Structure 1
């Protein structure tokens, strides 16, 4: 039986591990909160699954423990930072705050982060803006990795390149988090460890065949992740992946062209204040109408009603905050050696 843990206990556990590993309390709290938020919303490959690798990066000195982002460029509604490979979740939360301040004055606020460390689950961020009546768009890429094949190719050239966002309605907000690829590196890695298969032919092997076998990813030469849309419609995912590269490495002015080798991220985020456009009331009237129209669209007899993006994750979040977080079976065992090494007591299961 899979163990459940109180969300607050998991956050405290993660804070203690990160603090013992050398982060200050502010950075530890921000990183822990975002990691657990990923698990709360059901993104189990991008929640506490990442804590062990983050601790390894801190131990090796590849994730910076101290410092602040520095300004590369700045205009009234635009800010570009060098993140110096500081913890990604902490950097992104600071960037959202900075973008919201600008959006209140100028209608939009955009922050691009060069040299961030990994930023975890993108779906964990939109609520920070939504709760203030604003919309958020966020995208991330990692120029040190190239696991996704361009449409028609059989070798990887860029990353899964997630794009996420969220906005308020009069009821439940809309939140989406999609990759420009058929699957993520984290899911392929997990299935390689556990011996499972992917949910469809989401990879291309080194002979050009679509496959559900994650082992093809580790062949010599390796296979690659297909762009979103797969063999048939992957030209759409390819274009979306290129868009994310432009918004992240392109606007940051640094990435693949310089041969970056450090695990991390280039990040684009933009906060939009509807009050500066057609007005908040008109905005939520439109977003709520469309949400309700989609939910009530007819479906095939016997099928469930239409579910809006983010609806399942928000429902699961509420449920797990009340009843405990169900972790993937490999997560807690992967953290116990770190707990022993750093002298931190693991949380009790419920």
Structure 2
């Protein structure tokens, strides 16, 4: 059907479609539902490089056996407030949701609960996990790295060492949570790969080419000598992003005991997840009172651009998610085209655009 408007899809229909594809390729229902939920939440929040765009790759990984689907993580070590898992390359979104349950139980008993996961598969959009914790009045810190690849150079270097190494934090308030989701690099692999395929450019010179010259062209990452993504802060203050990247490496690969010192095993993730219960500190009421006041002061700050007020991290995404649940989800161009062959192969009905 030809339409002049941007196609939209029911969020529930997309969820059913994603779950159907995953179960058809062999993923058990509980894991398929967890993956479908987190990918769908990514698109709802506007993180379109980490929503259903990932699904064709996930399906390929399941089909090849690189993403395992059966069984549970292996416990490597457990202490009262800490737990280390071998994720056995099980689906990352499901592993993180299971780790949140384990960390939450520890946090409610000890004030904090930390789970680190080695050999997880890819975990999708970090921001998609937080509201499950903040709805319980809990704070969640989540970080991820992937020792299988390197696309981000250390500050002052040309050769890549890190992945974008995101870190995110969900902070409860009396209303919607504050959610930061920050790559410790100037941009992400998902965006540079998409723009390279589309022949597009980045908004700013967030890359350096193979000779160390700043560039906004993702093509420099794919031609010899290959360029790299700059650390957060770029050429001027990238030492800050570099420091954060190293911090994420310590929280993930360091604590999990598996990372860049080990043989590569394929696309995946090493994960740090910590749940904090404010009730074990000065109390939930005072925590929310303080964060509400910080939020109020941020919003009250005079806007640098007239008519464009200060937003809190995550606010735009939650507003968009509410709109898309009501009006339908707008997928980035090409996502449904990439899923169409899988739908035909696996005999799963494609949702109808509105």
Shorter-chain TM-score: which interval?
Answer: over 0.9
2:92 matched residue in structure 1: 88
Q: For each residue in 1:111-167, what CA deviation from the matched residue of structure 2 results, as whole angstroms up to 9, or x when unmatched?
A: 000100000000001101001110000000000010000001112111000001111
- What is the CA–CA distance in structure 1 between the aligned matches of 2:181 and 2:274, rounded to whole Å? 15
Runs of 4+ in 1 over 2 A off after TM superposition: none
Change (3 A) 1:218 1:110: same
2:11 matched residue in structure 1: 7
2:330 matched residue in structure 1: 326
2:55 matched residue in structure 1: 51
2:278 maps to 1:274: yes
2:208 maps to 1:217: no
2:107 maps to 1:103: yes
- Correspondences of 1:42-191 after superposition (within 5 Å): 42-191=46-195
- What is the CA–CA distance in structure 2 between the aligned matches of 1:310 and 1:232, rounded to whole Å? 26
- What is the CA–CA distance in structure 2 between the aligned matches of 1:291 and 1:38, rounded to whole Å? 24
- What is the CA–CA distance in structure 2 between the aligned matches of 1:55 and 1:184, rounded to whole Å? 22
Pairs aligned (count): 350
Structure 1 stretches lacking a partner, 5+ long: none
2:287 matched residue in structure 1: 283
Name the SS for the 2:224 alignment partner: coil
Q: For each residue in 1:148-206, what CA deviation from the matched residue of structure 2 results, as whole angstroms up to 9, or x when unmatched?
A: 00001112111000001111112221011010000000101001110000111011100
- What is the CA–CA distance in structure 1 between the aligned matches of 2:287 and 2:232, rounded to whole Å? 30
The Cα of 1:298 is off from its aligned counterpart by: 1.2
- What is the CA–CA distance in structure 2 between the aligned matches of 1:138 and 1:318, rounded to whole Å? 24
2:353 maps to 1:349: yes
- Correspondences of 1:253-272 after superposition (within 5 Å): 253-272=257-276
Name the SS for the 1:4 alignment partner: coil
Name the SS for the 1:256 alignment partner: coil
RMSD (Å) for aligned C-alpha atoms? 0.8
1:308 matched residue in structure 2: 312
* Conservation of the 8 A alpha-carbon contact between 1:2 and 1:328: no
Instruction: Choose from 184, 189, 196 the match for 2:200.
Output: 196
- What is the CA–CA distance in structure 2 between the aligned matches of 1:82 and 1:237, rounded to whole Å? 28
- What is the CA–CA distance in structure 2 between the aligned matches of 1:146 and 1:334, rounded to whole Å? 26
Name the SS for the 1:71 alignment partner: strand
- What is the CA–CA distance in structure 1 between the aligned matches of 2:291 and 2:47, rounded to whole Å? 25
- What is the CA–CA distance in structure 2 between the aligned matches of 1:106 and 1:224, rounded to whole Å? 42
Change (3 A) 1:258 1:296: same
- What is the CA–CA distance in structure 1 between the aligned matches of 2:243 and 2:307, rounded to whole Å? 32
Name the SS for the 1:345 alignment partner: coil
- What is the CA–CA distance in structure 2 between the aligned matches of 1:243 and 1:260, rounded to whole Å? 21
The Cα of 1:207 is off from its aligned counterpart by: 0.5
The Cα of 1:47 is off from its aligned counterpart by: 0.3
Instruction: Choose from 20, 27, 32 the match for 1:23.
Output: 27
Structure 2 stretches lacking a partner, 5+ long: none
1:339 matched residue in structure 2: 343
* Conservation of the 8 A alpha-carbon contact between 1:2 and 1:329: no
TM-score (norm 1): 0.99
- What is the CA–CA distance in structure 2 between the aligned matches of 1:291 and 1:260, rounded to whole Å? 43
- What is the CA–CA distance in structure 1 between the aligned matches of 2:179 and 2:306, rounded to whole Å? 26
- What is the CA–CA distance in structure 2 between the aligned matches of 1:74 and 1:12, rounded to whole Å? 36
TM-score (norm 2): 0.98
